[in-house]
Every structure is written in C-alpha cells, then in structure tokens.
Amino acid sequence: MNQRTTYLIVVGFVVFLAVVLAWNSITYTIEAGEKAVIFRKFQGGLDRDKVYGQGFHVKWPWDEVFTYDVRKMESRSTMDVLDRNGLSITLELSYRYMPKPDFLGYLHDEIGSDYHEKIIIPYIRSAAREVIGKYSADELYSTKREDIQKEIATRTEVSLDKNYLFLDAVLIREIKLPPKLKEAIERKLEQEQASLEYEFKLQQARKEAERQRIEAEGKAAANEIISNSLTDKILREKGIEATLRLAESPNSKVIVVGSGEDGLPIILGNQ
C-alpha cells in the first residue's frame, strides 16, 4: 500500500467519522402534519417564501430549522366580560385555528412560533368583549347565543387573516351568570314557553271551531239544496223505481194489495 492510498483511506475515515458525529446537525425529518422554514446563517437568512414539507432533509450544520404544526388545533379561553347592562359574566370559549402553511416564513419572521399567545388570544378576547357588550345577559344565555358565536368568529377571523393565521370556528362552551340573574332568566324562559304552549292550544281550538263551522254550513247548504229539489213528481218516480226493483228480486214475494199515498202500490214481502 503506497503513501497516497494510505492518505486517501485516512481522509475517507475522517470524513466518515465527521459525518457520523455531525449527522444530527446536518439532517432533519419533518413529521406528518408539520412544515418547516430554515434560517440560513451564511446564505441570506430566512427565505420567507420557501416552506419545506414532510420527509427527510439535509442542511448545513450551522443552519437552523423551525418546525410548525399546521394541523387544526383547539384551545380554550375563560374571561370575564360585561353585557350591555354592565352585568359581569364569566365566559368560556373554545376555538380552532391553524397557521397558513404557505405563509410560515412570514409568520416566523414577523411574529414567531408563539403566535397563539401574541396574536390569537388577545384578538379573540377583544372580539368577545366587544360583541358581548352589545347584548344583554338573557340574550347571551338563550336566544342570541349562536349569533354571538358567529360575530365573534367573524371579527377574529379578519384580524388573524392579516397575521397569516386561519380561524376555523368559535364556540361558547359555558356561560356563568350570577345565581340570582340566572334564576330570573330561567323563570322568564319558562313563562315564555308556557305562554307559547297556551297560544298554540288556542290556535288549535280556533282552527277546530272554524272547521266545524265550515262543515256545518256545508251540510246545511247541501240539505237545503236537496230539500228544494225534491218535488212530488220526483218522489213518486223514485217510489216506482223502488217498487220495480223489489218486484224483480228473486228473494222477494211481492203482493200488490191496493194503493198507498200518491198512487203508489203497497208492497208486502216475505216478512
């Protein structure tokens, strides 16, 4: 083995050893549901438009990788707010959000990985206080709950969109009112429900009475028409037709024994 070969073997071994020792600093893996941006220390810093997807990647040892979870995440926030009348209400919200994957470079450069604490929580609290301040406690507790959720979500969504974040939904999980106020609202709701049930029964009774009146008027009109159309001639003709049918029946013994009223024969049968 000559000196050159020995030199190459030594160099190769040193390079191999260096790669093994530096493996964790020159390679990285992005897991499912994640994306990353890289800060290149000697190549212009952070490339805001370059986002790296899932899988195995190689980098220079001195470059720094910042990984973000880009799946939908859920958090909760509890806060004290004032309604339209100045009453204190404890509100618990849950909300789903995620960073916009294609704008991770801008999010990292302008805000950072703690965007939830810096951006989402302040904006959603501010929107909740502004929206709930327009409604009364009983509206929040009963009739306007869904409208309030949508309005909070709409206000927050606009603010988050400007900061490279996406808001999926806002839900009111729990509303805590002062005990006396809660009892008063519940009594009011019970009374309103009872009033609606009573009104429904009255409407049903009115409809039934109207139906019976129309039915009675129809029967009276029909009877009047029939009564006006029955003349002596028509009655005599109907009597003759009935007599003929009885006479033709094989199960009847018909005997004419004179005449009855209106000139019709008197019919005697088996009975």
- What is the residue extent of each domain of the chain? 3-69, 73-177
Q: What mean pLDDT value characterizes the chain?
A: 79
Sequence-ordered alpha helix ranges (H) in the chain: 3-26, 104-110, 115, 121-132, 137-138, 145-161, 179-229, 232-248
Q: Are 101 and 33 in contact (CB under 8 A)?
A: no
- What gap in Å lies between CA 214 and CA 195, rounded to an integer? 29
| DSSP letter, residue 54 | S
Q: Which residues face 256 on adjacent strands?
A: 267
Burial 201-223 (b: 16+ CB within 10 A, else e): eeeeeeeeeeeeeeeeeeeeeee
Q: What are 224-262's pLDDT values in tens digits?
A: 776 666 666 666 666 667 666 666 666 655 555 445 555
CATH number attached to the domain at 73-177: 3.30.479.30
Average pLDDT over residues 111-133: 93
Please report which confidence band the pLDDT of residue 106 belongs to, taking 50, 70 and 90 as the band edges: very high
Q: What are 38-92's pLDDT values in tens digits?
A: 998 888 889 899 999 988 888 888 889 999 999 999 999 999 888 888 888 888 9
**pLDDT surpasses 60 at 9:** yes
**pLDDT surpasses 90 at 112:** yes
Instruction: Name 112's Cβ contacts closer than 8 Å, sequence gap at least 6.
Output: 118
